[in-house]
Structure 1
């Protein structure tokens, strides 16, 4: 396992020599993905959870849409069907290019294992996506610092899970795990989205750029407070 840090906006942890493979085979693809993620504005929305209803939280829908549009523009293929013999593990992978699979993981934390397990199968079986056998998995998730819906995965949690699994040789596929961060105790531009219904809707009523103050929690294990200006 090795760790790296590019900017305050992303951190990553590599497993199973992913850094060596990326440096030797996929530097161009990595630079493209790095640029997309580090230039992306923070997307937030209003919470629908009891007790914090209306408070700004991380917006997985808006973030996913931004990443998808940017990756497609950079030549990545999206929503690639999983071969029929393995369709019991899901319908499609999020993105692929030249033997790289990218999975955007903002949903509940158990889905991390599903994404990793099926990618391990694709790696072992040399399953091809867009004409290339699977060589490496890149996972993108958010940091603990962001207020978010209950039980959704965060980067620090994913690091702990994958570390234990790799140490015990559960997985062999090279994995780069990326966490999305922001600078604390500062004001940043954000994309504020309002949806047709507060719960589970992907239909946007309004999406505007606003300023948001990111206020650090009481400890490193506390979530920040987001305050729209």
Structure 2
């Protein structure tokens, strides 16, 4: 998967390239649907108080792309635990595994968004205290630092919440480690 980036609208870093959750979700959805996964599966009415849908499902597996604010991780996992314990069926199978995809901390991103290393810490603490029984697989998206990669840069109609693309290009992007010792990298578009 190519890295998806967009210009930031946040103060102090406005216009700088950051991780693009919309483009990343779109890519993941296209790839999974080609592999036979169903997307945007409605949650049964009896459990609709937990949200309207799950991102993806196949053969008893719930898969959530988690690129939004960090508290949503616990929401997704807790409701998946309920689906697991209640034997809720999605696409003809009871829930028996949860997969969460998130980005690594190395990616510059919008404020308060979940990152992989944070998810590992949260889930580890909860699992150590037997909070969950549902099997969980956590997948992190990473890039090799200090390299030049191909990336997809998108500009959206509205900078904050839009999914309407104004412009999308493939570009060369340099992934640079931070001089300050921070785990966050910087992206620099080269072309």
TM-score bucket (shorter structure): over 0.9
2:113 equivalent in structure 1: 152
Unaligned 5+ segments in structure 2 are none
Deviation >4 Å, runs of 4+: none
Deviations for 1:106-151, whole angstroms, at most 9, x for unmatched residues?
0000000000000000000111001000000000000000000000
Change in 2 beyond 3 A, CA 1:219/1:96 = farther
Higher helix share: 1
- 1:131 aligned to which of 78, 86, 92: 92
CA-atom RMSD in angstroms: 0.9
Question: What is the DSSP-based 3-state SS (H/G/I as helix, E as strand, rest coil) of the residue aligned with 2:13?
Answer: coil
Deviations for 1:21-51, whole angstroms, at most 9, x for unmatched residues?
xxxxxxxxxxxxxxxxxxx100000000000
Question: What is the DSSP-based 3-state SS (H/G/I as helix, E as strand, rest coil) of the residue aligned with 1:117?
Answer: helix
1:120 equivalent in structure 2: 81
Shift of 1:220: 6.4
Deviations for 1:3-29, whole angstroms, at most 9, x for unmatched residues?
xxxxxxxxxxxxxxxxxxxxxxxxxxx
Whether 1:185 and 2:146 are equivalent positions in the alignment is yes
1:33-112 equivalences in 2 (<5 Å): 40-112=1-73
1:209 equivalent in structure 2: 170
TM-score of the pair, normalised by structure 2: 0.98
2:186 equivalent in structure 1: 225
Structure 1 CA distance for aligned equivalents of residues 175 and 81 of structure 2: 37
Structure 2 CA distance for aligned equivalents of residues 81 and 199 of structure 1: 26
TM-score of the pair, normalised by structure 1: 0.82
Change in 2 beyond 3 A, CA 1:219/1:122 = farther
Shift of 1:222: 2.2
Q: Is the 8 A contact 1:78 1:94 kept in 2?
A: yes
Question: What is the DSSP-based 3-state SS (H/G/I as helix, E as strand, rest coil) of the residue aligned with 1:152?
Answer: coil
Unaligned 5+ segments in structure 1 are 1-39
Question: What is the DSSP-based 3-state SS (H/G/I as helix, E as strand, rest coil) of the residue aligned with 1:54?
Answer: coil
Structure 2 CA distance for aligned equivalents of residues 203 and 173 of structure 1: 36
Shift of 1:221: 4.5
- State the number of aligned residues: 190
